[in-house]
């Protein structure tokens, strides 16, 4: 029968050394991974973005859109006191300007408002025009009356004068008719304008009561899609809000905050991250939130690579 080779029992110290070595390797590996995640975190280096597609129906060029986005980003930088966002070619985060029903409705209101303003100007001019014609008519009528009174006072007009006054009387009657017709038509136009104004105001009210998503951030892209804005100041605010989401911030209370869910009460002229926005950022960048944020973005990066 063959002898079986017995293994020498491990000594306590041998086990301890191996165990400690394993622990040290795991520790070092974890530390390297942690450092990697921290270095990826948007709290420790700027979050890169790039301007994606810009629909020309917005009547803003890609260059203009880019400059508004840069300004929105720099307002975050200034607030948090570091380079938090940077425009970079080929960056994963894209900012798009997408035209759909939302902006179409807003454009309709804008056009409606411009048309009404135009009608108002035309009506004002017509009104002034009519008034000056009425004044001229009144002056002529007064002169006619004066002459009639005069000739009557001297016992009647000679045939030539009588004839001339008759012509003027008929002409004045025709002019009066014409002016009445003009006034009537102007009144109809004013009524029509007033109806349009009240219809337009109803449309504005109903659109004001609607909460429209002006922009959206998705970490799955990652992408910021902007859908609607009234003017460049509003666009800047919408971009600041969505860039805040891209930096990992959620909605916060305080209707004047950049990260409030609804845009309206913020300072449009000079929007900047308020104390509550900045403390949300600080909280977002505190351990372990920075690492969790980085892990999330790593997850989406891997998922995207799988899809392509
Ligand atoms: Zn939001």
Instruction: Report pLDDT digits (tens) over 249-308.
Output: 999 999 999 999 998 899 999 999 999 999 999 999 998 888 888 888 889 888 888 876
DSSP helix/strand/coil, 255: coil
Q: DSSP secondary-structure letter at 212?
A: -
Quote the ligand 1 centre to 220 CA distance (angstroms): 15
Angle, nearest 10°, between helix axes 62-80 and 232-246? 60
DSSP helix/strand/coil, 160: helix
Q: In the structure encoding, which two tokens stand for residue 128, read together?
A: 């002034």
Where a domain ends, among 173, 208, 243? 208
Quote the ligand 1 centre to 43 CA distance (angstroms): 19
Res. 1 pLDDT band, cuts 50 70 90: low
Q: Strands, DSSP E only, in the chain?
A: 47-54, 85-87, 93-97, 215-218, 223-226
Which residue in this structure is represented by tokens 């804008």? 110
Query: Taking the model in full, what pTM does it have?
Result: 0.74
CA nearest to 297, candidates 51, 44, 87 = 44
Q: What are phi and psi of 59, to 5 degrees?
A: 60, 40
Asked if residue 48 lies in contact with residue 92, where contact means CB atoms within 8 angstroms, the answer is yes
Quote the ligand 1 centre to 109 CA distance (angstroms): 25
85-119 pLDDT per residue, tens: 999 999 999 999 999 998 998 889 989 999 999 99
Where a domain ends, among 186, 208, 230? 208
Where in the sequence is the domain holding 295, given as residue range(s)?
40-103+216-307
Q: Is residue 241 part of a domain?
A: yes
32-73 pLDDT per residue, tens: 998 888 887 878 889 999 999 999 999 899 999 999 999 999
The answer on 257 and 196 residing in a single domain is no
228 membership: H or E segment, kind and range: none
Quote the ligand 1 centre to 253 CA distance (angstroms): 12
CA nearest to 74, candidates 54, 46, 93, 52 = 46
Quote the ligand 1 centre to 12 CA distance (angstroms): 59
The answer on 185 and 137 residing in a single domain is yes
Query: What whole-number percentage of the chain has pLDDT above 90?
Result: 75
Quote the ligand 1 centre to 261 CA distance (angstroms): 5
What CA–CA distance (Å, rounded) separates 34 from 155?
118
Asked if residue 92 lies in contact with residue 49, where contact means CB atoms within 8 angstroms, the answer is no
Quote the ligand 1 centre to 269 CA distance (angstroms): 20
Burial label, 134 (beta-carbon count in 10 A; 0-12, 13-18, 19+): middle
Asked if residue 242 lies in contact with residue 250, where contact means CB atoms within 8 angstroms, the answer is no
Q: In the structure encoding, which two tokens stand for residue 62, read together?
A: 């890609």
Residues 143-160 have a mean pLDDT of: 94
Quote the ligand 1 centre to 245 CA distance (angstroms): 7
What CA–CA distance (Å, rounded) separates 1 from 267?
93
Quote the ligand 1 centre to 72 CA distance (angstroms): 15
Q: Is residue 15 part of a domain?
A: no
Which CATH number characterizes residue 71's domain?
Answer: 3.40.390.10
The answer on 199 and 133 residing in a single domain is yes
Where a domain ends, among 158, 190, 208? 208
């Amino acid at each position: 029968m063959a002898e079986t080779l017995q293994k020498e029992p491990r000594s306590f110290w041998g086990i301890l050394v191996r165990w400690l070595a394993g622990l040290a390797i795991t520790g070092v590996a974890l530390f390297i991974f942690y450092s990697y995640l921290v270095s990826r975190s948007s709290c420790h280096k700027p979050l890169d973005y790039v301007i994606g597609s810009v629909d020309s129906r917005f009547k803003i060029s890609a260059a203009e859109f880019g400059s508004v986005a840069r300004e929105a980003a720099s307002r975050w930088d200034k607030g948090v006191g570091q380079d938090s966002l940077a425009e970079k070619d080929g960056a994963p985060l894209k900012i798009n300007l997408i035209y759909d029903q939302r902006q179409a409705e807003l454009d309709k209101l804008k056009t409606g408002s411009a048309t009404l303003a135009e009608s108002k100007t035309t009506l004002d001019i017509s009104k002034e025009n009519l008034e000056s014609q009425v004044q001229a008519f009144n002056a002529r009528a007064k002169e006619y009356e004066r002459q009639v009174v005069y000739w009557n006072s001297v016992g009647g007009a000679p045939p030539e004068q009588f004839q001339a006054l008759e012509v003027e009387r008929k002409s004045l009657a025709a002019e009066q008719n014409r002016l009445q017709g003009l006034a009537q038509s102007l009144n109809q136009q004013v009524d029509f304008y007033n109806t349009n104004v009240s219809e337009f105001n109803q449309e504005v009210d109903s659109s004001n009561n609607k909460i429209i998503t002006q922009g959206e951030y998705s970490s799955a892209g990652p992408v910021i899609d902007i859908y609607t804005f009234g003017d460049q100041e509003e666009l800047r605010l919408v971009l600041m809000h969505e860039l805040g989401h891209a930096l990992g911030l959620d909605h916060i209370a305080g209707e004047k905050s950049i990260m409030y869910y609804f845009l309206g009460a913020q300072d449009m002229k000079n929007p900047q991250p308020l104390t509550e926005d900045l403390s949300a950022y600080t909280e977002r960048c505190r351990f372990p939130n920075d690492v969790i944020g980085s892990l999330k973005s790593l997850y989406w990066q891997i998922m995207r690579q799988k899809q392509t």
